[in-house]
Amino acid sequence: MENNKYNWYPVYTKSRSEKKVDLELRKKGIKTFLPLKKTERIWSDRKKIIDVALFPYYIFVFITPQEIPNVLNTNGVVRFIYFSGKIATMPLKQMNDLQLLLAIDSNLEIFNYDLTEGTPVKIIAGPFKDIFAEVVTINKTKNLVLQLKNLGYSVQIKTSIAYIEPIN
């Protein structure tokens, strides 16, 4: 029996090819998600605000397992990400949470390291309500760091300590 269930899969791309891969996959009719952030680039003669990939080298595709070869045969795609010997899938809730975070323009910062310490929390109020997170630090500026498991990146948001509660 074939598995026709759609899942989000992280895909590793060639350097600085995320936007090109996104366009090519969309031309093939594949649903994609390319998280972008605005950043200022400075050249010798000018400054410009440009969109760059929030997760360098990564794009997400919403496909069935049967569509994996079609994705792999796309120019700029290097490989799928593996976790415990299997092609990694991203939980739907986690992808929805990430899309929500980007939709509210929360000045996300990325941390490219594994976060192992901290208390699991649920955000109970505010624009990030119902998002589960792991606290890395809460300082005087009220920064809460969310870890996106399965990808090895973390997202930093600013929220009030009053908006979180520990998960038992």
Q: What is the pLDDT of residues 55-109, one digit of tens each?
A: 999 999 999 999 999 999 999 999 999 988 999 999 999 899 888 888 876 566 6
Q: Which residues of 150-164 are buried (b: 16+ CB within 10 A; e: fewer)?
A: ebbbbbbbebeeebb
* Assigned domain for 102 exists: no
The stretches of 13-91 forming alpha helices (DSSP H) are 18-27, 68-72
Residues 142-151: what's their mean pLDDT? 62
Which residue range is the domain that position 128 belongs to?
Answer: 109-166
Could you tell me if 66 and 140 lie in one domain? no
Give the residue with greater pLDDT, 39 vs 11.
11
State the pLDDT at residue 115. 37
Task: Determine how many CB atoms are found less than 10 A away from the CB of residue 70.
Answer: 15
Residue 157 and residue 126 share a domain: yes
The larger pLDDT score, comparing residue 71 to residue 135, is at 71
| Top-confidence residue, 11 or 113 | 11
* pLDDT band at residue 113 using 50, 70 and 90 as cut-offs: very low
Q: Are residues 17 and 86 in the same domain?
A: yes
Residues 12 and 82 in one domain: yes
pLDDT at position 34, please?
96
Please tell me whether the overall predicted TM-score, pTM, comes out greater than 0.75 for this model: no
Same domain, 72 and 23: yes
User: Domain containing 82 — which CATH number?
Assistant: 3.30.70.940
Give bridge partners of residue 60 from the DSSP assignment.
10, 33
Residues 23-61 pLDDT 10s: 999 999 999 999 998 888 888 899 998 889 989 999 999
Indicate if 17 and 84 belong to the same structural domain.
yes
Say yes or no: 85 and 144 in one domain: no
Residue 146: pLDDT over 90 = no
Is the same domain home to 16 and 68? yes
Count of the separate structural domains present in the chain: 2
